[in-house]
Amino acid sequence: MGSTLDSTEAQTLAVIDRLYDTYPDLEISLHFSSRLELLIAVILSAQCTDERVNTVTADLFEKYDGPADYANADQEELAEDLNSVTYYNNKASYIRSACEDIIEQHDGEVPDTMDELTELAGVGRKTANVVLQHGHEIVEGVVVDTHVQRLSRRLGITEEERPEAIETELMELVPEDDWQWYTHLLISHGRETCTAINPDCEECVLEDICPSSKVDNDVDLASNEAW
């Protein structure tokens, strides 16, 4: 009980299979109706809950329509519209700058390549992956958010700490057809059971193959600290 399978590959596949059975109805939790709205929502979601972002964008997307509205928005007014999300001043600046570039360099359309997306203000590889996957239906990598980072380490799938290094390893271990949904499987499990502070190990479908299980182990491999 509470130990990994014989290989990291077998461990990864077992985790994926069990979580598919547990969470059959996977979907992105951010609300959007266009690629630009998706981009903005993902920028806002950095270090902020999707639930909070959805609350803010419900009004934001009614007020602003298209990249020109954001690019021409007053910085202070846009920041005030975002003031219940983390780092709202910075995010307002990122959104304005990104929309200026979308107008000037991409004919008003959200670009569809990793290189072009990551050149936009406030857009790193994680954000770009989300926009590609759910906006353009292009799967080029694995989105590594805090849930994926925590659970992939906790479950003994990776020992890497940086999101970029974790993604590189996951792209070797996770079947390509599962790249997009691996993220949502771990997000669902991270919210429902394998929470950051007090995971419900006794009720977890992965407990018997989890080397961080509190039932049998003393250390949380996500942090390498004692429970």
Catalytic positions:
126, 145
Please name which of 13, 6, 68, 30 lies closest in space to residue 206, comparing C-alpha atoms. Answer: 13
User: How far apart (Å, rounded) are the C-alpha atoms in residues 19 and 14?
Assistant: 8
Cβ distance 190 to 147 under 8 Å? yes
CA–CA distances in Å: residue 107 to residues 13, 36, 112, 127: 42, 13, 12, 21
**Tokens 């609350």 -> residue:** 55
Which residue shows structure tokens 């928005």?
Answer: 73
Give the Cβ contact number of residue 100 at 10 Å: 17
Spatial CA neighbour of 36 closest among 96, 124, 126: 96
